[in-house]
Structure 1
Amino acid sequence: MYKVLSNVSKYIVYNGLRKTSPVLHEASITTLNLNQQPIPKQPIPDLKQTTERYLRSLKPLLTDDEYKNTERIVSEFLITGAGPRLHAKLLERYQNTDNWMKEWWLEVAYLGYRLPVIVHSSPGTVGPPITFHRPDDMYVYAARLITAVCNYNEMIKSGKIKQEMAHNDPLDMQPYGMILGTHRRPNKVIDKLLHTDEAKHIIIISNNNFFKLCVVNKDGILSEGKLVAAVKDIADRSNTQGKPIGILTGNDRDTWAKDYSLLLELGNNRNIIKDIESSLFILCLDKDLPKDAFNEKNNASVRAVQSMTGCSSYVNAGNRWHDKTVQYIISADGFIGMEYEHSPCEGIPVAVLHDYVLKYIAARENSAMDRMSVDFPRPELLKFETNDAIDCAIEIATDTVDKLSDNIDMECFTFDKFGADAIKAIKLSPDSFIQIAMQVTFYNLQKKAPAHYESATLRRFINARTECIRSTSIESVEFAKIMLSGKCKSKQQKKEMMIRAINTHKEYAAQAATGQSVDRHLFGLKMIAKSEGTELPELYKDVGYTRSTYFNLTSSQVPYKSASFMCYGPVVPDGYGCCYNPRPKDILFACSSFKSCNETNTRDFACVLQQTLYDMRDIGSE
């Protein structure tokens, strides 16, 4: 029996499926309970407090006349308008749900998002370069990666993962149970998120060919020797390139949903897709990138695109299935990376998995490989059937993916002048320091303040996701202006202004992390208004709201213990994305913008950011 619960409509669909297949559930339904300590519900802030903080965040983004008008609109919303009534209904929802935002956010931010998941939504992860001296080395690495992920999965399923804490507050561990065995199924208007806790097989894609490999049997995880033999067998059987069926998953979601329905009707495709959906994760064995891919970009920047899209249809863009939450990627030219579909969780649990895998492999780096087994479960080739309509759909998807891959402009680098330790040594917050540096950089290039989004985790609360830290403040803009004005200000004056900007950011970040910021509360009120079918309050049509939510600088800290980093594209056509991993002695950055925008330039952003970091440390050390 095959069970699928839609996260929106809550109905059950039954289809014939081999009895050995795992049962797939709605993603919020898992048999696991990973929280040893109880986690409180996500609060709803005081309405007056939210409006005050909202207005404060708008000051650096609006003209005086715009601000005065927005102030009037907010006052009317709070006192005589829809605000109190919507807030009261939101409080009712708080009482009747374990998390008032969970379903709305999953639907609006992810499953209802219709652009391609690649670049726009699904982040890539780039690991440190590796060296394979002979072909078998890659097979051994792949086998150890599979073992590491399976060991990690067993640790999660057994509930042995340690409860994380933020100071004295326990953090929700449920997202760790949602990474492996999860899949996003395309569907018209709103996709479905599926999850199983019972996956025993993985999917390996090689040269666009799909294989099913059972990695766990009654005796446990397959031995390293058997896994090496199975991976080598897949590589040997993939000399002929398969049709790039996987590239269909990189198209916009409505087109992919339509093509998915066509695909299901042919041959054994329905069962193949069920095998993909119910797998633990996907492993992509990529082809080497052509040498000219590195003509204009460093290795990290090129690998970032490989992790997000596969680079191009001529290389590895067909060697993907972007709906799977975890896709590990290995290529013989020394790349280890991952792409993750963002719907079920944020980046930090994914980073923890990735670090675990790299640590496991590194610990065995000098150990001899288990003898390659001749007695191994032969991987099953999953051969899709196609027709003219699917072939046409592949051509259209190929065009979409190639254009997007070519348009995303990455500049990824290791800032090695100093790291978090040096920032702490001058008694400043590393995260706030980096955030203010980004704003000075943006102001330097654009001569205006950014609507700057930084992601804050809400894992202090059960089934919560993120809040927006509105990083731009009056203080940060004042500091940016002074840094660029050329007017003679003493280092001490600059230091005082820098510290004010950093402390304001720390204050905003603390509010966000405790569920007391602006954006999710306003989002909840907006969703209540939409559910009533009435016209949205004027607040949501006002320039204050539209400008402050047009995030032309999007950023997040994703800390890895390894020399790895996460990367993603901007969220608006004329914006920048910037993900960073501050380590004790260095900081890894992944900066992005779109080549199609004449107003942005990723290389300029990366260069100015590095100089700004250096200048700020110089000021702070005074």
Structure 2
Amino acid sequence: MNASEEISSRTFGNEAGLPRVPLPTLDATCERFMEWCGPLLTTDERARTESALAAFVRPDGPGRRLHAALERYDAAEGVHSWLDTFWPYRYLGRRDRIALNANFFFLFKESPEGQVERAAGLIAGALDYKLRLDEERIPPAQQRGRPLSMAQNRFLFSTTRIPGAEQDTVRAPYTDAWPGPSRARHIVVFFRGNMIRMDVLGPDGRPHTLDELRAGLGTIMKAEAATEPSTGHLTTKARAEWAASRDALLALGNGKALDDVETALFCVCLEDFTPADTLEACDHLLHGDSGNRWFDKAVSFVVFGDGTAGINVEHCGLDGTTILSFVDALLGTRPEELSRRSGAAPQGLPAIESIEFVLDDALREDIRDAAASFAGYAAATATTTVSFDDFGADEAKRLKTSPDAFVQMAYQLAHKRAKGLTGTTYESIATRQYRHGRTEAMRVVTPEVLRFVEAMDDPAAGPEARRNAFRAAAEAHVRRAKECQAGQAPEQHLWELQLIQKRRGAELGVTEPLTLFDTPGWLKMRDDYLSTSSAPSVNIRYFGFGSTSEQCIGVAYVLLPDRFNAYLSTPRPVAEAMHAFADRLREAVRELRDLLA
């Protein structure tokens, strides 16, 4: 889309005109790959990686044939991006549990409202958004005057991940199986292990009023705790195991109950307690009581006893940037105004119906086992928060540095001091300026980063040398982030070539083992010590997700003009190192501020 072209005001009106995700040449990717993994390798590891890479890209080598197949795919009719098959595999192909491992959360800004008022307000806001989305009246997001892809917005409502034995699928509107927007009129409300279907739109598609939504929720909250164990626990299982449990549910005649949950616009999870503090609220948003969740649902609002609220998101079709704009629309305007704008009309108490699953002894035991296993898994995850209410993006800019580069350098310095090494660091970079664009995987450790962390603890290095080392590392960070935004990054490209061999190797005549993917370069570059992602919005206090490996610290951060909050998670056996990292991070931010001032 040229800058001179008119930007459509329709939600999906610019998709066809967006530029395609660039497919890098194989040679450019291989050169970048060595650049990116190089700082993590010993001389011997580097030599082994280079040798396997040379075999991969030789003129008649497997890399050339796989890349040629990817070029043909990218040029095929109906293909939006060379990543069209990568994304489903990346998310739907994972076989471990998605609860805590893949889903992410936002903790919303505080509100004076009580639980029922807050929940009703979120429902009203979401319905206003849904009705505007149905008519393509949500203005397309823009970046520097250019439109961004809005394709992910189609997965906000009535979207549910369905477990599969080998790969999951998605049940969603705007698909061949379910054309156009969802016509569902209900949500599912969870309370004390009960699942309740509540109609939030009347027969003519108009929303119930705020008063009626409150009354409906109030009725639901009079219910006794459920007597049967909650089927929601099953959504925490590893995917193939959950697929087998779902088959068992269907065999007992639970098709209608599953249908009610899977087609619901979204879930509202009402907790019957008040979190002791912010960390407890964050932890419950990440994993919570799995009997009060359906982790496969794209969107679940969670509202605690005191009105504290947030959202848990299934990641396969939705990235943080899409959810942020959705949340901003809900929280940036008063619920009364959103309800009025949606055309809400009085139509009596919403229809409420309990969703009852028929269970046998085997399924009851399955559910109890799933609940116990997940509770144990959640307990084996250590978390903490780090907050700075006197530092934010504005100060980083005053110190003449990129705010994101500043905090990423602080992470590197804190990690080196906490764990004694500089380890692989992942940062998610949004690429929604492209057609069906999602994110690019950035690897943060550069030679400049290594020199910077060394200089900071070198007694012989004075302030000037340290400042210069910081500036060089920050500039390298910004350069690499721009490369990622331009689609010039090696990891997803090489990964997709590996996946093409798995899917089509025999047909393409590429059946030999690809040693590149067993090299220290490939394995080390992707074995995270820090997995980082940011979500800047004044409407959220914290953002969070689980860690991605045995030694990894997940770092989800909200960097605003005047403050900076991070939620950290790691496996409990290495919790001590995470707490050390948090302490060193507080010191590093202070030290870098003083250094640059």
TM-score (norm 1): 0.87
- Match in the other structure for 1:617: 593
Amino acid at match of 1:73: A
- Match in the other structure for 1:484: 457
- Match in the other structure for 1:399: 372
User: Partners in 1 of 2:158 and 2:586 — Cα distance?
Assistant: 39
Counterpart of 1:608 (choices 581, 584, 597) is 584
Superposition deviation, residue 239 in structure 1: 4.7
Alignment of 1:414-563 (within 5 A): 414-485=387-458, 487-530=459-502, 531-533=504-506, 534-563=511-540
Retained in 1: the 8 A contact 2:419–2:577?
Answer: no
Map Cα deviations across residues 162-187 of structure 1 (whole Å, 9 max, x no partner).
Answer: 22233254211111222222110111
Superposition deviation, residue 536 in structure 1: 3.5
Q: Does 1:273 align with 2:258?
A: yes
3-state SS of 1:43 partner: coil
Alignment of 1:238-387 (within 5 A): 238-240=224-226, 242-267=228-253, 269-289=254-274, 294=276, 299-310=277-288, 316-361=289-334, 375-387=348-360
Retained in 1: the 8 A contact 2:427–2:441?
Answer: yes
3-state SS of 2:332 partner: helix
Superposition deviation, residue 60 in structure 1: 1.4
3-state SS of 1:427 partner: coil
- Match in the other structure for 1:593: 570
Superposition deviation, residue 148 in structure 1: 0.4
Superposition deviation, residue 411 in structure 1: 1.0
Map Cα deviations across residues 225-277 of structure 1 (whole Å, 9 max, x no partner).
Answer: 1111111010012455552221111111111111111111224x210110111
3-state SS of 2:49 partner: helix
Alignment of 1:18-37 (within 5 A): 33-35=12-14
- Match in the other structure for 1:183: 160
- Match in the other structure for 2:101: 120
Retained in 2: the 8 A contact 1:468–1:520?
Answer: yes
Change (3 A) 1:250 1:240: closer
Once superposed, which parts of structure 1, at least 4 consecutive aligned residues long, lie more than 6 Å away? 362-365
- Match in the other structure for 1:11: none
Superposition deviation, residue 318 in structure 1: 0.8
Counterpart of 2:382 (choices 402, 409, 418) is 409
Counterpart of 2:186 (choices 201, 206, 217) is 201
Superposition deviation, residue 471 in structure 1: 0.6
User: Partners in 1 of 2:131 and 2:538 — Cα distance?
Assistant: 22
- Match in the other structure for 2:80: 98
Amino acid at match of 1:119: L
- Match in the other structure for 2:177: none
Map Cα deviations across residues 33-62 of structure 1 (whole Å, 9 max, x no partner).
Answer: 353671122111122211111111122100
User: Partners in 2 of 1:270 and 1:227 — Cα distance?
Assistant: 27
Change (3 A) 1:103 1:83: closer
User: Partners in 1 of 2:584 and 2:102 — Cα distance?
Assistant: 26
Counting matched residue pairs gives 566
User: Partners in 2 of 1:586 and 1:172 — Cα distance?
Assistant: 29
The farther-off stretch of 241-250 and 118-127 is 241-250
Superposition deviation, residue 363 in structure 1: 7.2
Retained in 2: the 8 A contact 1:559–1:581?
Answer: yes
Change (3 A) 1:36 1:64: closer
Superposition deviation, residue 320 in structure 1: 0.7
Map Cα deviations across residues 550-591 of structure 1 (whole Å, 9 max, x no partner).
Answer: 122110111122142210111111111001111010011111
Map Cα deviations across residues 77-136 of structure 1 (whole Å, 9 max, x no partner).
Answer: 2334322222222111111122121222212x211111111111001221234455xxxx
Question: What runs of 5+ residues in structure 2 fail to find an aligned partner?
Answer: 1-9, 174-180
Change (3 A) 1:414 1:241: farther
Change (3 A) 1:373 1:239: farther
3-state SS of 2:166 partner: coil
Change (3 A) 1:363 1:605: farther
User: Partners in 2 of 1:240 and 1:191 — Cα distance?
Assistant: 29
Amino acid at match of 1:113: R
Question: What runs of 5+ residues in structure 1 fail to find an aligned partner?
Answer: 1-30, 311-315
Superposition deviation, residue 140 in structure 1: 2.0
Change (3 A) 1:362 1:379: closer
Change (3 A) 1:138 1:373: farther
3-state SS of 1:339 partner: strand
Amino acid at match of 2:53: V
Map Cα deviations across residues 262-295 of structure 1 (whole Å, 9 max, x no partner).
Answer: 111224x2101101111110000112057xxx5x
3-state SS of 2:85 partner: helix
| TM-align CA RMSD | 2.2
- Match in the other structure for 1:236: 222
Retained in 2: the 8 A contact 1:304–1:410?
Answer: no
The farther-off stretch of 34-43 and 250-259 is 34-43
Change (3 A) 1:238 1:153: farther
3-state SS of 1:597 partner: helix
Superposition deviation, residue 190 in structure 1: 0.8
Map Cα deviations across residues 417-450 of structure 1 (whole Å, 9 max, x no partner).
Answer: 2100000112211111111111111111222221
Change (3 A) 1:245 1:60: same
Alignment of 1:21-170 (within 5 A): 33-35=12-14, 38-80=17-59, 81-96=61-76, 97-107=79-89, 109-131=90-112, 137-170=114-147
User: Partners in 1 of 2:297 and 2:362 — Cα distance?
Assistant: 24
Amino acid at match of 1:454: E
Superposition deviation, residue 538 in structure 1: 1.7
Retained in 1: the 8 A contact 2:152–2:318?
Answer: yes
User: Partners in 1 of 2:513 and 2:199 — Cα distance?
Assistant: 52
Aligned sequence identity (%): 26
Retained in 2: the 8 A contact 1:206–1:238?
Answer: no
Amino acid at match of 1:349: T
Counterpart of 1:213 (choices 198, 201, 206) is 198
